[in-house]
Amino acid sequence: MTPENINYWHYILVMLSGGKDSIACLLDLINRGFPPERIELWHHIVDGREGSNRGASSNGTENRDKKKILKN
């Protein structure tokens, strides 16, 4: 995206994890003059959370964890 065509978009979606890259993207859009009210911020969990299958081993713990979540 270049400064010449940034206002072509009605809205711009920023997947915001809270890390330095997503914050830099948001600030760059604002510094380029894109109206903040036309920026949508969507929180994006990148490290996973309890009960997710991120980093699950192949020994069956993934399925056991999913069953535990469904019971709760």
Largest CA distance in the chain: 53
More confident: 4 or 61? 4
At residue 40 the predicted structure's pLDDT band, cuts being 50, 70 and 90, is very high
60: in domain: yes
pTM: 0.57
At residue 27 the predicted structure's pLDDT band, cuts being 50, 70 and 90, is very high
54: in domain: yes
34: in domain: yes
More confident: 20 or 6? 20
1: in domain: no
Owning domain of residue 28: 6-71
Total domains present in the chain: 1
CA atoms of 51 and 31, how far apart (whole Å):
38
Q: Is the pLDDT of residue 66 over 80?
A: no
